[in-house]
């Protein structure tokens, strides 16, 4: 990587093919590091929160709601960070996430977990929209889904390696000590996740940007709310609501309802990571070939089956299948991102993605709390039955996608200029 110059003269209007290839490699390294860190977080959080902090499903729902506050405020956070350009904003975001992950190593109660969850939330929620903006800036017309799919596949390779490492360490420690309550080791993994994220932050600083990119970063609207993008806003809001049901309660169904130990949950996550690693580019190619409307229709029908299946799961094995199914279906979210890229003006893309992430958290602040109340009063099945409402609405609004008629920009209609 060092052999290729990462800096771009501010007078250069376009990136050369060499610089585009270099940019993809830089983003691949960053994506690998960030997903490795996030996967460490995902694989240990349910057991850490239950065993080390004494939390149950209800408290986890409340903590998830607190976590989503920075996501809701992302449009304003992005407005501050984007003034220095995409790569700098991304580096700052990932660094903040890394600090937040590390702080969990020093928490011992629900109240103490609030600050780390807010800090890392600011970072990784910003990363959620910035990674897509960086990836789409490298994509050629008609290859948006494939490009994002490749990056997701690389990220899930990082997920796979992280989960294998966590599983190997936890299993080895249990064999050596005979103790399956491994608080100290889980805390070390929080520090590991933070360190890996910071490595990703250092790497993305070398992402090449053309003079046009840098100039547009300075003059682009910081907050975008356009009537023409209303359908993207609606789909993003519904997607966020659905995702929060899954993130807040699916792991706790396995851990609390079926008493799944940490290592078994990690094995399931490893299988999910392998599926997403191998299928990322394939799903992206399906979006490019069949269009956003068709692929999202398929995804939402399958989401509905998975949510009903989770609610009515008769045993842990059926719950495992639903858990894997949802993880696979998360790949189809590429379609929502490529949709806004195809219809939006070039200068609107990054702030529109930030607006989409923020809107995804409008109801996400309330949904985990409401889901926690349903869990507490009626049982674990009801948050998932509640979540089917968002899936059905997503399916209804997907029928309104018509890229040709809804396009107001020209970025998605021509090949990006590439210098020889």
Residues of the chain with pLDDT under 50: 1-12, 219-221, 412-420
- Predicted local distance difference test score (pLDDT) of residue 196: 93
- Please tell me the predicted confidence (pLDDT) of residue 292: 92
- Residue 95: which of 165, 45, 15, 34 has the closest Cα? 34
DSSP element (H, E) containing 231 = helix 230-252
Q: Which helix (H) or strand (E) holds 130?
A: helix 110-137
Domains of the chain: 17-408 (1.20.1250.20)
What is the helix, strand, coil percentage profile of the chain, to 5?
80, 0, 20
Residue 259, classified by CB atoms within 10 Å of its CB into exposed (0-12), middle (13-18) or buried (19+), is exposed
CA distance linking residue 95 with residue 194, whole number of Å? 8
pTM exceeds 0.85 for this model:
no
Nearest residue to 265 (alpha-carbon basis) of 273, 276, 254: 254
Instruction: Dump pLDDT digits (tens) for 352-366.
Output: 877 777 777 777 667
Mapping DSSP to helix (H, G, I), strand (E, B) and coil, where does residue 362 land?
A: coil
Q: Looking at residue 179, what is its pLDDT?
A: 57
| pLDDT at residue 40 in the model | 85
How far apart, in whole angstroms, are the C-alpha atoms of residue 15 and residue 8?
8
d(CA 11, CA 187): 47
């Amino acid at each position: 990587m060092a052999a290729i110059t990462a800096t771009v003269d501010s007078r250069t209007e376009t990136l050369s093919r060499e610089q585009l290839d270099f940019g993809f490699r830089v983003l691949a390294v960053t994506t690998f590091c960030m997903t490795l860190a996030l996967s460490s977080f995902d694989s240990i959080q349910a057991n850490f929160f239950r065993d080390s902090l004494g939390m149950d499903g209800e408290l986890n729902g409340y903590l998830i709601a607190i976590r989503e506050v920075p996501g809701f405020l992302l449009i304003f956070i992005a407005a501050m960070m984007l003034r220095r350009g995409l790569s700098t904003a991304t580096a700052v975001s990932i660094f903040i996430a890394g600090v937040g992950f590390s702080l969990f190593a020093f928490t011992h109660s629900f109240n103490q977990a609030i600050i780390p969850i807010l800090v890392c939330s600011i970072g990784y929620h910003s990363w959620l929209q910035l990674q897509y903006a960086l990836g789409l800036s490298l994509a050629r017309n008609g290859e948006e889904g494939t490009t994002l799919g490749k990056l997701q596949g690389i990220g899930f390779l990082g997920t796979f390696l992280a989960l294998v490492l966590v599983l190997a360490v936890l299993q080895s420690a249990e064999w050596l000590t005979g103790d399956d309550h491994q608080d100290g080791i889980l805390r070390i993994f929080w520090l590991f996740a933070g360190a890996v994220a910071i490595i990703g932050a250092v790497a993305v600083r070398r992402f090449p940007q053309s003079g046009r990119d840098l100039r547009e970063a300075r003059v682009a609207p910081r907050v975008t709310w356009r009537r023409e993008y209303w359908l993207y806003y609606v789909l993003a809001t519904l997607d966020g609501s659905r995702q929060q049901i899954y993130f807040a309660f699916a792991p706790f169904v396995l851990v609390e309802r079926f008493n799944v130990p940490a290592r078994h949950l990690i094995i399931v996550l490893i299988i999910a990571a392998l599926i997403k690693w191998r299928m990322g580019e394939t799903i992206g190619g399906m979006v490019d070939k069949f269009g956003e409307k068709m692929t999202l229709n398929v995804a939402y029908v399958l989401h509905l089956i998975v949510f009903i299946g989770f609610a009515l799961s008769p045993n842990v094995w059926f719950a495992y299948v639903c858990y894997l199914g949802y993880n696979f279906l998360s790949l189809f979210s590429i379609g929502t991102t490529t949709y806004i890229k195809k219809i939006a003006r070039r200068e609107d893309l990054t702030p529109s993605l930030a607006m989409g992430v923020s809107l995804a958290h409008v109801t996400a602040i309330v949904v985990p709390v409401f889901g926690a109340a349903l869990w507490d009063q009626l049982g674990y099945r009801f948050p998932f039955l509640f979540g089917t409402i968002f899936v059905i609405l997503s399916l209804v609004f997907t029928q309104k996608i018509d890229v040709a008629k809804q396009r107001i920009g020209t970025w998605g209609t021509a090949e990006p200029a590439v210098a020889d």
